[in-house]
Amino acid sequence: MEIKTDDYRICYDPETITVFCQGSLRLSGMAEYAPIAELLDDIASQEQSPVVLDLQGLEFLNSSGISMLSKFVIKVRHKKTVTMIVRGSKTIPWQGKSLKNLQRLMPSLTLEWDE
Amino acid sequence: MTQIFGDYCEGEPNSPEFLIIGFSPSSVPLKQRWRNNGLSADFMADYLTTFFLGNEENPASMRRQAEIKSAVGFVANELLENAMKFTDERSAFPISIQLQLHPNYLMFFTTNSVEPERIASFQTYLEELTSCDPEDMYVRQLEKNALEENGTSSRLGYLTMMSDYMARLGWKFETVQKDPEVIAVTTMVQLPV
């Protein structure tokens, strides 16, 4: 499964239960994010574990995008048996500042950093 | 009428180092020019890096440059997105974004008109925002957004600046035209660097 434009690419690998977000996500609000949110909802509802959210290629995320990813984390949190791993990149400064918030939503979430 | 919320201050109107970009609402409707926000924010961020030169032999200076560039890109993009979303399209009042350089901080100012019927709820939100603990309110807002299926606004932009970027924010509302009345809001963001 893949959603791709000139600015970003979201793709899901069911074998590893990993969703990759790459590029720049700055859509204008929840309505525009709906196709991506639906893909994430589907992944959360499958209740496979662990779910991996790979953001190592996500250079930019606006606040509506932060809201969308946090909704995904909360949906996964509601599936009590599912664990979650978020992969971030130390070379992308916004991630160092903001990814910790996902962990505050779901304390059992593991944050993994590349170097 | 002038009303102030938060830590609003004018900065240095005559600062020798500044950049202003203006948008006229007359041509293509502003809401259809969404891509401009990202382009303008990236431009401001790129432009600014010339004042914070990184040295490839000094990794710390390169990291600092990347941090500043990323922060400016985020703040400018959020401010422009808000200005475009909330501007009163019935008025011809232009939108502007200004960036000022100061020794230890940067200042952003965006100005846009506001629909009169939206002012009360906006100001109630600002009162809550300026009296809260940003980190607590941030998590509460994330939880709240998750319960709303079709929320139109994430209400996370200002909170992210406050909680993740240690920015100080302020707002000034003023009447800029009478009959018909046009009220403009200037949003100030002071970002430590």
pLDDT at position B151 over 80: no
- Residue among A75, A91, A94 minimizing CB distance to B74: A94
State whether residue B39 sits within 8 Å of chain A by CB: no
Q: Which helix (H) or strand (E) holds B77?
A: helix B59-86
User: For A64-84, how does the pLDDT look when each residue is reduced to its tens digit (9 = 90+)?
Assistant: 999 999 999 999 999 999 999
pLDDT tens for B157-179 read 999 999 999 999 999 999 999 98
Mean of pLDDT values over B46-65:
87
Chain centroid, CA B123 distance in Å: 16
- pTM for the full predicted model: 0.95
Output the CA–CA distances (angstroms, integers) from residue B77 to A12, A26, A28, B60, B167, in the order listed: 28, 9, 11, 26, 15
**Which chain B residues are within 8 Å of A66, Cβ to Cβ?**
154, 156, 160
What is the pLDDT of chain B when averaged over all its residues? 91
| Mean per-residue pLDDT, A10-17 | 97
User: Complex ipTM, two decimals?
Assistant: 0.95
SS3 sequence, chain A? Answer: CEEECCCEEEEEECCCCEEEEEEEECCCCHHHHHHHHHHHHHHHHCCCCCEEEEEEEEEEECHHHHHHHHHHHHHHHHCCCCCEEEEEECCCHHHHHHCHHHHHHCCCCEEEEEC
pLDDT at B27: 65
Q: Is B130 helix (H, G, I), strand (E, B) or coil?
A: helix
Asked whether the beta carbons of B7 and B190 are under 8 A apart, the reply is yes
Nearest CA in chain A to B141: A67
Q: What is the per-residue pLDDT across B6-51, written as a single tens digit (0 to 9) for each?
A: 999 988 767 777 899 998 876 676 666 888 899 999 999 999 988 8
- B103 or A90: which leads in pLDDT: A90
Predicted pLDDT of residue B148: 85
Using N-to-C axis directions, what is the helix angle for A30-45 and A63-78, rounded to 10°?
20
Q: Is B135 helix (H, G, I), strand (E, B) or coil?
A: helix
**pLDDT (mean) for B62-70:** 93
What is the band of A46 on the pLDDT scale with cuts at 50, 70, 90? very high
Q: What is the mean pLDDT of residues B87-96?
A: 90
Q: Could you give the angle at the alpha carbon of B139 between the alpha carbons of B138 and B141, nearest 5°?
A: 65
Chain B residues inside the 8 Å CB shell of A62? 74, 77-78, 81, 157
